[in-house]
């Protein structure tokens, strides 16, 4: 082993006081600039704590404006003040089938996933709601990126099953918080659903540059050691973050910039570190954000698509590259999931004649995908 490699492995002078601060799933103890929005959502769900029906809520706003963090912080507070409410957070990018969603609710109520014994959805639903009735608990479900459920045409079924549970299980009280990022999306429900789902809307506006600067400064103060990052560098990363419109980019940008400084053996982050960090993660942030929710099958399919992007585009060609061990139906489900996650585009054949095939195109650079898969 070379002396340089030994130096890297043995060097323990990290610039990070607490690296978890820069994880996208981190919930800060001090959460600024969303008091009004949090209070509005809290008022809507408060009746559940007293055993009454809540006001359902739709949370809307651009990416990286604190919607998910706000709801998770609310759920944390609910568990601290009440034992009667079961809050369940579900990311609909990963769970967009009825059985999968009901399994997540089951897990939230029982504390463990349902046994996969081929039980039908109806049985799982009865177990889940029956337990709520038996324990006299109320249920609050957050459906993050709920627009995914509308795209795959199961939203109404899910809303109906959750919100009308009291008709089959008397005494059961349920509520829903839907989170929508796609500003162009306009959800419409049938009259049957409208009778139980008339949500209040809570809007999250984009952060100003000054607000972004303050939030990033707070993260840097608790995540890095003193003097690692100065105002000039913070100002630069805040400016870029504001232009991109996604706070997550700035949070991850600080982490990546600090890692670059460490790699160079420096005790301070410089502007060049920030620019390189932002360039590196801009294309990979979305993939990285959804990657943990991909199954082994999904990752295998994505890897094959990324490795062969540019060589061919036909779905059958990608499938044949897998070297067996997977049915075409499983492959098809994976590419549809990747399409829903906005990682690939599927150009569907206009007819089913001989030689007609769906075409698959990546929506993100293949280098970003391969780097994350390699890690």
CA distance 364 to 359: 16
Residue 185 has pLDDT above 90, yes or no: no
- What is the per-residue pLDDT for 115? 81
Residue 369 is predicted with a pLDDT of: 84
Check whether 6 has a pLDDT greater than 50: no
Per-residue pLDDT reduced to its tens digit, 7-35: 444 446 789 999 999 998 899 988 989 99
Average pLDDT over every residue of 39-58:
95
Give me the mean pLDDT over the 330-334 stretch: 89
Q: Provide the token pair at 240.
A: 């870029």
Mapping DSSP onto H, E and C, the string for the chain reads CCHHHHHHHHCCCCCECCHHHHCCCCCCCCCCCCHHHHHHHHHHHHHHHCCCCCCCEEEECCCCCCHHHHHHHHHHHHHHHCCCEEEEEEECCCCCCHHHHHHHHHHHHHCCCCCCCCCCHHHHHHHHHHHHHHHCCEEEEEEECCHHHHHCCCHHHHHHHHHCHHHHCCCCCEEEEEEECCCCCCCCCCHHHHCCCCCEEEECCCCCHHHHHHHHHHHHHHHECCCCCCHHHHHHHHHHHHHHCCHHHHHHHHHHHHHHHHHCCCCCCCHHHHHHHHHHHHCCHHHHHHHCCCCHHHHHHHHHHHHHECCECEHHHHHHCCCCCCCHHHHHHHHHHHHHCCCEEEECCCCCCCCCCCEEEECCCHHHHHHHHHC
* CATH T-level fold of 35-203: Rossmann fold (3.40.50)
**259's tokens:** 């890692």
Q: What is the mean pLDDT of residues 248-260?
A: 94
State pLDDT tens for residues 148-174: 888 788 999 999 999 999 999 999 999
Confidence (pLDDT) at 8: 47
Neighbours of 88 (CB within 10 A): 18
pLDDT at 233 over 50: yes
Residue 52 has pLDDT above 90, yes or no: yes
pLDDT of residue 10: 44
Average pLDDT of the segment spanning 257-265: 93
Average pLDDT, the chain: 88
Domain formed by 294-374, architecture: Orthogonal Bundle (1.10)
Average pLDDT over residues 342-359: 73
Is the distance from CB of 338 to CB of 298 less than 8 angstroms? yes
Check whether domain 207-282 has CATH 2.60.120.650, yes or no: no
Q: Which two tokens stand for residue 356?
A: 């007609």
Distance set, CA 99 to CA 119, 173, 291 (Å): 10, 21, 21
pLDDT reading at 355 higher than 70: no
Burial category of 186 from C-beta neighbours within 10 Å (exposed 0-12, middle 13-18, buried 19 and up)? exposed
List the domain boundaries for the chain.
35-203, 207-282, 294-374
| Residue 183 pLDDT | 64
What tens digit of pLDDT does each residue of 68-116 get?
A: 999 999 999 999 999 999 999 999 988 888 999 999 999 999 999 998 7
């Amino acid at each position: 082993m070379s002396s340089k490699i030994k130096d890297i492995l043995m060097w323990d002078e990290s610039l990070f006081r607490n690296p978890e601060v820069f994880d996208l799933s981190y919930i800060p103890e001090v959460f600024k600039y969303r008091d009004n929005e949090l209070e509005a959502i809290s008022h809507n769900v408060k009746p559940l704590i007293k055993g009454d029906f809540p006001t359902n809520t739709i949370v809307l706003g651009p990416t990286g404006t604190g919607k998910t963090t706000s709801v998770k912080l609310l759920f944390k507070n609910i568990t601290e003040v009440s034992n009667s409410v079961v809050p369940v957070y579900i990311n609909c990018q990963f769970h967009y089938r009825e059985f999968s969603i009901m399994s997540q609710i089951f897990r939230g109520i029982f504390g463990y996933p349902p046994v996969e014994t081929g039980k039908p959805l109806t049985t799982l639903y009865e177990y889940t709601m029956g337990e709520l009735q038996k324990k006299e608990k109320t249920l609050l479900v957050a459906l993050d990126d709920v627009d995914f459920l509308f795209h795959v045409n199961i939203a109404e079924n899910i809303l109906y099953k959750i919100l009308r549970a009291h008709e089959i299980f008397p005494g059961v009280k349920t509520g829903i918080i839907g989170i929508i990022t796609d500003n162009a999306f306009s959800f419409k429900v049938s009259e049957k659903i409208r009778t139980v789902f008339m949500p209040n809307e809570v809007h999250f506006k984009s952060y100003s540059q000054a607000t972004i600067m303050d939030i990033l400064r707070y993260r840097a103060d608790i995540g890095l050691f003193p003097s690692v990052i100065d105002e000039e560098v913070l100002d630069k990363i805040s400016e870029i973050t504001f232009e991109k419109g996604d706070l997550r980019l700035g949070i991850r940008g600080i982490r990546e910039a600090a890692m670059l400084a460490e790699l160079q053996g420096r005790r301070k982050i410089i502007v060049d570190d920030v620019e390189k960090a932002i360039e590196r993660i801009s294309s990979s942030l979305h993939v990285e954000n959804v990657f943990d929710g991909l199954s082994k099958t999904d990752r295998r399919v994505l890897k094959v698509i990324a490795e062969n992007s540019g060589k061919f585009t036909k779905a059958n060609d990608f499938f044949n590259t897998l070297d067996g061990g997977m049915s075409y139906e499983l492959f098809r489900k994976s590419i549809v999931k990747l399409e829903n996650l906005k990682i690939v585009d599927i150009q569907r054949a206009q007819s089913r004649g001989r030689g007609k095939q769906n075409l698959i195109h990546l929506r993100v650079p293949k280098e970003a995908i391969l780097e994350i898969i390699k890690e």
